[in-house]
Chain A
Amino acid sequence: DAKTTQPPSMDCAEGRAANLPCNHSTISGNEYVYWYRQIHSQGPQYIIHGLKNNETNEMASLIITEDRKSSTLILPHATLRDTAVYYCIVRVGGTPLVFGKGTRLSVIA
């Protein structure tokens, strides 16, 4: 079973920041927070992951609370191509990914 809770859907205006929340209140000390997205009919795409510190790459930023019980994925300037299902997953390195239902993000022009 997925160990995270995400809202089923969100809307975001094109050009604005998309902030996708994730609750993982039972996360263990050795579990990482991973974010993937799946655009319709394609394989999941890796976005970013982190353990304790905030992380940023060319796609997004990941903000993890100090107690590690929740996190937020930030897409700084959402475009229509960012419309997808976003999955927040916690896992120990070296173990398979267990997917939940994710958040369906719709970017609106």
Chain B
Amino acid sequence: ETGVTQTPRHLVMGMTNKKSLKCEQHLGHNAMYWYKQSAKKPLELMFVYNFKEQTENNSVPSRFSPECPNSSHLFLHLHTLQPEDSALYLCASSTLGQSGNTIYFGEGSWLTVV
């Protein structure tokens, strides 16, 4: 248990569906992240939120839409995805403004697009 909870753990969706991934952290952190891990590839950073403001978008297609309503919650809204978007999506959180601050990850949401 890392203090970062992701739901659902598994999701199967069609290419025309709209779904959302949810992340909640109970660590009092003020930065949250979305990462993507495709099969046999390194983890790729998607988005960064600091104090609810998006500070980094790593050239992610618009069919992925993040939302950060407060410092404890992060969503990834999914619409008109492609089969190649099937991957493990990981949420993480950390504090800001501290040297050597540690980033903690959730267990991930496995997404399959059919």
Q: Mark A residues whose CB is within 8 Å of B.
A: 2, 30, 32, 34, 41-46, 49, 51, 93-94, 96-102
Contacts and interface: CB of A to CB of B under 8 A. Distances in A.
Interface stretch (B11-19, B61-69, B71-79, B95-103): B95-103
Contact of B105 (A41, A43, A102): A43
Interface string B21-64: 00000000001010100000011110010000000100000000
Query: For chain B, which range describes its interface: under 10, 10 to 19, 20 to 34, or 35 or more residues?
Result: 20 to 34
A92 B2 CA distance: 22
Nearest to B98: A93
A97 B108 CA distance: 16
Contacts of B42: 2, 99-102
Contacts of B101: 93-94
A94 B108 contact: no
Given A42-B108, A101-B42, A49 B103 contact: no
Given A96-B45, A99-B42, A100-B42, A44 B97 contact: no
B81 interface: no
28 contacts: A2-B42, A32-B100, A41-B88, A41-B110, A42-B107, A42-B108, A43-B2, A43-B92, A43-B105, A43-B106, A44-B105, A45-B105, A46-B104, A49-B102, A51-B100, A93-B99, A94-B94, A94-B97, A94-B101, A96-B45, A96-B48, A96-B56, A96-B103, A97-B45, A97-B92, A97-B103, A99-B42, A101-B42
